[in-house]
Chain A
Amino acid sequence: MLEPINIDLAALNITSLLPMAITIFGALSIICIDLMTKNLSKSLYTVLTILFILLSLGAVLGYHGDSRGFFDVVLVDGIALMTQIIILVTSALFVPLALGGRRFQEFAMAEFYALFLFMIAGFQFMVSSDNLILIFIGLETASLSLYTMIAMHNRAKAHEAAIKYFTMGALAAGFFVMSSLIFYALTGSIEIHQIAEVLQTKNFEPLVAVLAGTVFMLGALGFKLSMVPFHTWTPDVYEGSSSALAGYMSVVPKIAGFVVAMRLFEMLIGSGVVWLENILYICVVLTMTFGNIVALVQEDVKRMLAFSSIAHAGFVMSAVLIGTTEANSGLFLYWVLFMFANLGAFTMLWVTRHRKNLWDERYQHPFSKFSGMIKIMPVNAVIMGVFMFALAGMPPFSVFWGKLYLMSAAVNNGFIVLAIIMALNSAMAVYYYMKLIVYMFLKEPVSNDESIYTSNTSTTLKVIIGIAVLVTSISVVMVEPLLKMITNYVTLSGF
């Protein structure tokens, strides 16, 4: 006979689940509203979604409980809190993009907003747990919502993208489960900290099994983080989905992936088993170099941004490899700064979204589309230029500070060769970002019709772009407080 289990309600630490509960509640209430009244404006749903996100953000910011909750399944440490803040802020900046000048089918449907909130909840679970099963559930909730949202764009390319992402994602999910299974078989636990303890006492024997588990996990996370050689889906999926969603996808799912990678791999690298460090080293170098090289030859701005986001992910993954507090803080600093520049760049593409492919049969945003933009729309061209220079890592714009901090973390911890590779990659990346700048500033315009560039403009979009460009250009004054906050959170959770 089983012993009765006594649960003290206080020990459950319910408040640790409050942020996710708010987003899930928000999703459900949007579905209910849609059930009761039809034909509500998309602006209502957008604003409601933002409100729920803000409420959830409030719950995260005001959290003062124990870091463990719910039978130790939930882990709300500094990193979890900070990542949730990043995810929620990015989401709050993304949702208003639905209010573009043109009508799109997906934004008219309430389901889109409900799925969006479910996705946020999924990511929130994923980052605030070190239980492999809960991480998996969070990952899948988020991914399934995301696949559907991509498909809701309802173009042939969007369907292709969704299916491609789904099949690849399913494979990655399989890898994840296999890896968890192996770790469970080895240690009898699915909690990362316990796995670490048991592996430590067993001195990482049998090595083959640990290796297999790690490789499967690297594959699974590699898909999510679009690391080479698991990156093949990225450009097609970005191209197929709307620019706004592509920008979102290049930021939020990845930060969630980074957190899981940090929790798992840094434990394993800390073990002193050399091969993992080597595998990760190769992966990081390959990812940034390959992403940069392929980005050089792209003819479409969106595909170029997709490959460049692969390179950025590789760059940031180096923080996991280095593994010190400084490097981990650098990861978050980089990603926050990258988020604004990247979101801005994709929003600029979103603004120029046109019903037809006017410039090229194959691509929505070929480089030639932006020819001579400075003559037609100087302000837009300058703003896009700022985002490009920021992404390229030109000082004094945002991403430069992240690069600087990460490279200095590499130098300070003896990874000088890695720092040099990072520097050379930055030099390579400048070329393709500059290609767009050259088209915008130095070439003659193809058409003087301003309206084709602004068909999707609206005040809301302008405000979002304004925020992004402001943060990108004055980031030099933001780095200090941001870094203080990030370092504080990272040290709190012991990374």
Chain B
Amino acid sequence: MDHILSLIIFFPLVAGIFGFLVNKDSIRVYGITVAALEFFLTLALWVSFDGNIAGFQFVEHVTVISHFGMSYHLGVDGISLFLVILSTFMTMVALIGLSIKKDAKNLIISVLYLEMTMVGVFLSLDVILFYLFWEFSLVPMLYIIGAWGSDKRIYAAIKFFLYTFAGSVLMLVGILYMGYLYHATTGVWSFSIPDWQLLVLPFNTQLWLFGAFFLAFAIKVPMFPFHTWLPYAHGQAPTIGSVILAAVLLKMGTYGMVRFLLPLFPDATIYFLMPIAIVAIIMVIYAAMVAYAQEDMKQVIAYSSISHMGIIILGTFAINAEGITGSIFLMISHGIVSGGLFMLVGCIYDRRHTKNMSEFGGLAISMPTFATIYGIMLMASVGLPLTIGFVGEFLSLIGFYKVSWIMTLIAGTGIILGAIYMLTLYKRSFFGEITNEKNRGLKDLNGRELVALVPLVALVVILGIYPKPILTPIDASVKKMIVLMEKKAVTQKAKDFIIKVNTIKGGE
């Protein structure tokens, strides 16, 4: 399995190109088959992945532009492994649940290209390569939102594109400056992340570079106050677009933070830790409150995504093994849960052509299976113990507890608010008598939808009860990264901080 990572990246691309030859009546089956094969490839990667090795595995390295130090450099570690599996899994599930008939061929080929860019982002170890996939992921998404969305789709698509593009061009300047610094220090051109991680930077330089990278990631996540594109994108996107956007694309931002900000600029990370944590807490609470005020079911879930991303950021910036491992686990669980919720909203939208909660009521009577699955997903989203949502949220918050207990307490209220808006949504839509006659006699979930949703429910429960197989490899890589951060930090303050948050105080 020498080139399995290249295979995983380029299989969807090649399949997408061949997809043009497939007749449009059969394209759905083709798309699902390709996505399933891709998913099995990533499963094979997991099987042959050695969870005890903390460093990068299956590394591939070919020099592409030697003048410039750009290379084709791939590798996978515990941090990226499950995000890759998440990407392929959610793509497959989203394609199974796809109900769009109009121009389905263009849509499915775009989704396959999108899949390539997603796994490309997570597997690249060369920063220019990373940037390439990062930028290119916007194109298929632009097309998916803009062509198959609802009324204001073009506005939403352009807003999404421009926001994220504008953020990342400054990151490009940061990347180039970092490359220059590496060259100035070592005399060699390199854009490889493992090389960069060994470079110790002066404190002031770190601050500027941190800013350039952080802006791009913050817009992608999206952090308050750059979040305004997300509700639009979700509101207008077709179901498959929302599923992939919420499940995977947002995770690119938080992945970037873990992969770049923390190990490359440890001192700047600690310096900016408090302001970022405050913004993250604002995100958690503000987005939860906005979610409560929404009428549109999809908007509720969109704002709840922002709220949960806040907890992920909080966990990441706890700078200890629990927090970061928890935040990565939360990325995966939030991917599964929010993806599932968006698919469920898609199911009801297909039947009623509205997402407005006031139009529903008493759905549990007409659609019992739907109501059950919705309920389980909702509980996972709220973070009920023994569901997948609990593990990540708990670990992230426990991690941040060591940084500041009071801030953790405030962020914890976000979970309560989450329960409030989610349960209100559930009450208004599913419980009570059927008030709107249109809701009577709605068909329950059909076979296709069940095939797509049942694996998600199964994962929610299984990983909620036994998360260890995922946590162990993540933990190994995270610990290695924290040791590196501690070694690299140039200021004593940062060193002390890292040691402080990573030791358990006993009976002090």
Contacts and interface: CB of A to CB of B under 8 A. Distances in A.
B157 A438 contact: yes
B392 interface: no
Given A378-B106, A408-B179, 16 more contacts: A394-B136, A395-B132, A408-B68, A411-B176, A412-B180, A430-B161, A431-B158, A434-B158, A434-B162, A437-B142, A438-B157, A479-B64, A479-B65, A480-B65, A483-B68, A484-B67
B166 interface: yes
B170 A423 contact: yes
Contacts of B278: none
B68 A442 contact: no
Interface string A449-489: 00000000000000000000000000011011001100100
A405 B132 CA distance: 14
A280 interface: no
B135 A483 contact: no
Given A395-B135, A441-B143, A480-B67, A411 B153 contact: no
B413 to A, nearest CB: 37
B139 A394 contact: yes
A419 interface: yes
A411 B172 CA distance: 11
10 contacts: A408-B68, A411-B173, A412-B176, A416-B173, A416-B177, A427-B169, A430-B165, A442-B143, A480-B67, A487-B67
Which 10 pairs, one residue from A and one from B, show the smallest C-beta to C-beta distance? A442-B146, A395-B132, A423-B169, A427-B166, A408-B176, A411-B176, A427-B169, A412-B180, A480-B65, A423-B173
A438 B162 contact: no
B131 interface: yes
A420 B170 contact: yes
B147 interface: yes
> Secondary structure of the B side of the interface?
helix
Nearest to B184: A412
Given A374-B106, A395-B135, A427-B166, A405 B68 contact: yes
Contacts of A375: 103
Given A434-B158, A438-B158, A480 B66 contact: yes
* Interface footprint category on A: 35 or more
Interface of A: 374-375, 378, 389, 394-396, 404-405, 407-408, 411-412, 416, 419-420, 423-424, 426-427, 430-431, 434, 437-438, 441-443, 476-477, 479-480, 483-484, 487
Contact of B147 (A394, A404, A442): A442
A404 B143 contact: no
Contacts of A430: 161-162, 165
A405 B172 CA distance: 11
B67 A423 contact: no
Contacts of A389: 139
Contacts of B165: 427, 430
A412 B179 CA distance: 9
Given A395-B135, A430-B162, A438-B154, A419 B173 contact: yes
A476 B64 contact: yes
A420 B173 contact: yes
A396 B65 CA distance: 13
Interface residues of B, number: 34
A426 B169 CA distance: 8
Contacts, number: 89
B146 to A, nearest CB: 4
Contacts of B74: none
A411 B180 contact: yes
B288 interface: no
B136 A424 contact: no
Contacts of A426: 169
A465 to B, nearest CB: 18
B154 A423 contact: no
Interface string B171-191: 011001101100100000000
Contacts of A442: 143, 146-147, 153-154, 157
Contacts of A487: 67
A441 B147 contact: yes
A395 B66 CA distance: 18
Contacts of A437: 142
Nearest to A393: B169
A419 to B, nearest CB: 5
A476 B129 CA distance: 11
A411 B157 contact: no
B172 A404 contact: yes
Interface string B146-164: 1100000110011001100
B169 A424 contact: yes
B196 to A, nearest CB: 15
B157 A396 contact: no
Contacts of B161: 430, 434
B417 interface: no
A396 B177 contact: no
A420 B67 CA distance: 23
A378 B172 CA distance: 32
A430 B172 CA distance: 15
A477 B136 CA distance: 17
B245 interface: no
B128 interface: yes
A295 to B, nearest CB: 15
Nearest to A407: B176
B132 to A, nearest CB: 4
Contacts of A412: 176, 180, 183
A60 to B, nearest CB: 24
A23 B132 CA distance: 42
A480 B165 CA distance: 26
Nearest to A396: B132
Nearest to B20: A378
Q: Interface centre among B65, B68, B147, by most A CB within 10 Å?
A: B65
A293 to B, nearest CB: 15
A76 B165 CA distance: 43
Contacts of B103: 375
Contacts of A431: 158, 162
A309 to B, nearest CB: 20
Interface string B63-82: 01111100000000000000
A205 B15 CA distance: 68
Interface in B104-119: 106
Nearest to B136: A395
Q: Interface centre among B162, B166, B172, by most A CB within 10 Å?
A: B172
A336 to B, nearest CB: 15
Contacts of A441: 143, 146-147
B169 to A, nearest CB: 4
B101 to A, nearest CB: 15
B173 A407 contact: yes
Nearest to A442: B146
A52 to B, nearest CB: 34
Nearest to B169: A423
Nearest to B145: A442
Nearest to A394: B135
A443 to B, nearest CB: 8
B127 to A, nearest CB: 11
Contacts of B183: 412
A483 B66 CA distance: 10
B148 to A, nearest CB: 10
